[in-house]
Structure 1
């Protein structure tokens, strides 16, 4: 499923529908021919400065090409200054006498202050809410019978040892399975480089403790996963926000500027399926990110918890695949795909492995051998891969269903960023709608949503929502989306 940005607005699009492709050489690459045709349309005056361009998705459908080809054509025009990209909105004809938009100026490291917002959300976590808020897959989508069989088999083999401790770095059989599977996308670590953790959150905590001191600044995406923000607050670290594009992911030019001006102790990012935007950096940009931070001597903490949901077949490589010097601290888990309650995560810390292992042993150091063995069995049997294929199909169906309801029931001016992979929608509501008020009213109706202020260290992003689409699109769920739309309209 390709990443698209849908805006519920009335805009000029049909003017670009009639394009004479015969004026271009047939041997030209598709994207160049499409770009040239769009140039003719702009030169004709059919679109005025400030008008919205045809969306990449519709351009791809009209020209019968892939979405990346359509995006490349639009980016050609953007590089020439003919159009500009607006995050979460799409491409627009460049206004007259207006320079191309650049990312907002960096404000410098700031303390994280969102704990009150987070407490408000978590206070209702145990309620029986319609689950559009928490980023978890529908329990009915998990391979329950497979998981139960794996637990029973592991219990018989381990006998009494299954009730003991799994000492750091964790069971060797599980670490071997993780390393072997990661090698398929080019991972540069072995079983000996891995430490098993209680989910990805503990892995991220260990990574931050290994490379940061209280008071340090950590460069993060803007918007950022609220769990990351809570970790920074708990560890006494400051957030240095880096603009993040809903298609390209973390923007490298602002990051380089932040490094020169503020020298963060680390960069913590999700280059593959970012939460909440769903953005995945192109492979070439991942390589650039790794090279940039290697030159600067700043570690990259890579949160890859959604990575297994990316790709139609073979998943794309994580940044760790391009790590030559052990500068990437790779963190992942099975929580978003297989078994959230098992709390099986891992960290491959590169040259920071000794510090991470020491921190693991000094803290909540014991793992659960029964769960680690069962997870190893599921990975080894091929059941996990079969489950992933089914899960991706269900996720795509859920995302499309929720997008359709948002388009139908939310007010004009609403923009929704649909992910290339993963199951999270990032929704921008028209001003002056307040997402915290939407959250409050949704709770009163028994509906969970995640308000935008959760994803900013200072509780900004007041008119944004994140919606979880990893649920069966039942009439009840879709009616909940309609209900949100109705009171957003009022």
Structure 2
């Protein structure tokens, strides 16, 4: 619908009315005139970032227009990123120096040992379960299809009877493997049910993949920054991390990867080409094809972590790298932990030419699956309930991301930069250099707020002034206030680190 007639249609949506479209376009709607006046007010500096805007009702009285017209004017400013709405609180002026520019790509270095476990243990041991969940990368439990999951469990329990309480032996239930293979075929994957092994989540799948192709002391090429679960796996298996620069738009950069292969010859490449954690970057189809071809030519396996893939795309999700694998060189790992049922721990691996090694490793380790959960998951995938849930989840995630970005813009200090991912629910935030993300984490924890500090995403606990924020939660007043509190902590740390005599006058540094 043309923006010129939005407010008019709102008043007549229950009537049949003939509208002269050309006449409407020639006029200047009241809401646009009011919005332009408000823009001039903001540009004059009369209101500072964080100040409350005039309420819609007062604006309507002042301009002698209807309340919907006043609201439309404020929404115009919100769409331009000038103000942000807070639930039940009104509109506030955004912090306009927050940038969504691309973060710098760091220079390539050689393989390094991972020394993250001590930091991770320190952070995780201090965390409580009842935190405002801006840290853990999990969807809001209220967003999950609980009724659907319960019905599937009950149906599977009746069908399996006592066998539901037994073991599911590797490679896992055939009905679930068939459903997963059929879904993957929709985006071009060329593996069947017999090529799959069901795992206890994607982390176990990644562990099996690494064990199949690596030996202790080997280097594994990973994205920079990298998901901390990947780093902990490398450390636990005695593997070194070879960091490859990763771009916010392009994903894993192929030229530095090619150089790293020539110089260091990694045993494997472990990457998330679709919705990377923590950047949210996705490689284009063409670049995925190039990546597969590059590693096939080099004889280096690609371990593809596709746990967020189902959150990408408006309708049909984009193909994973596995869709372009003709030789079995891509080891594909995924799960439903980020979209359907985190606690069910349903994951899978399609290991290509490494299938035998992976299956042996699965049987030698924590090999037993849960038949009841596997059967119930198969039912959910077969019924179409999962696809209906995904459509709702994507809308909620997009709304949550927008709300948190707007709150960061309104609350965080000058010099902050934040990603705006096209898919997924994670924000990667670069804070001013003076702000220590570990200290932000500690202070936020004391307020009952969880955040993930940048050092978790670096092999040697670097990235000290970065945060990852989870946006897969209802943007309630409590949640947005928590983001505001994190911003306040960052302001305090910025101020406390200033040299003596440093002053702030009218918001400018002198």
For this structure pair, what is the TM-score category when the shorter chain's length is used for normalisation? 0.7 to 0.9
**What are the ranges of 5 or more consecutive residues in structure 2 without an aligned counterpart?**
1-78, 81-98, 493-510
Tell me if 1:89 matches 2:101.
yes
Q: Residue 302 of structure 1 corresponds to which residue in structure 2?
A: 304
Q: Residue 243 of structure 1 corresponds to which residue in structure 2?
A: 245
Contact 2:100 2:420 in 1 (8 A): no
- Give runs of aligned pairs for residues 110-189 of structure 1, distance below 5 A: 110-189=112-191
Cα offset for 1:105? 3.6
Tell me if 1:328 matches 2:340.
no
Q: Residue 312 of structure 1 corresponds to which residue in structure 2?
A: 314
Partner residue of 1:348 out of 347, 350, 353: 350
Q: TM-score, normalised by structure 1?
A: 0.80
Contact 1:206 1:359 in 2 (8 A): yes
Secondary structure class of the residue paired with 1:366: coil
**What are the ranges of 5 or more consecutive residues in structure 1 without an aligned counterpart?**
1-60, 63-86, 92-100
Question: In the aligned structure 1, how far is the partner of 2:433 from the partner of 2:166?
Answer: 55
Cα offset for 1:302? 0.1
Q: Residue 455 of structure 1 corresponds to which residue in structure 2?
A: 457
Q: Residue 438 of structure 1 corresponds to which residue in structure 2?
A: 440
Cα deviation, 1:245-277, whole Å, max 9, x if unaligned, reads 011000000000000000000000000000000
Task: Return closer, same or farther for 1:461/1:154 CA change in 2, 3 Å cut-off.
Answer: same
Cα offset for 1:119? 1.0
- Give runs of aligned pairs for residues 193-208 of structure 1, distance below 5 A: 193-208=195-210
Q: Residue 223 of structure 2 corresponds to which residue in structure 1?
A: 221
Question: In the aligned structure 2, how far is the partner of 1:304 from the partner of 1:104?
Answer: 24
Cα offset for 1:126? 3.6
- Give runs of aligned pairs for residues 410-449 of structure 1, distance below 5 A: 410-449=412-451
Task: Return closer, same or farther for 1:352/1:306 CA change in 2, 3 Å cut-off.
Answer: same
Q: Residue 474 of structure 2 corresponds to which residue in structure 1?
A: 472
Q: TM-score, normalised by structure 2?
A: 0.76
Task: Return closer, same or farther for 1:376/1:452 CA change in 2, 3 Å cut-off.
Answer: same
Q: Residue 83 of structure 1 corresponds to which residue in structure 2?
A: none
Runs (4 or more) in structure 1 with deviation over 6 Å come to: none
Question: In the aligned structure 2, how far is the partner of 1:228 from the partner of 1:459?
Answer: 14
Question: In the aligned structure 2, how far is the partner of 1:489 from the partner of 1:163?
Answer: 53
RMSD, aligned CA: 1.4
Contact 1:414 1:429 in 2 (8 A): yes
Paired positions, count: 396
Question: In the aligned structure 2, how far is the partner of 1:429 from the partner of 1:264?
Answer: 32
Contact 1:88 1:246 in 2 (8 A): no
Question: In the aligned structure 2, how far is the partner of 1:126 from the partner of 1:345?
Answer: 26
Cα deviation, 1:386-445, whole Å, max 9, x if unaligned, reads 000000000001000000000000011100012110000000001111100100100010
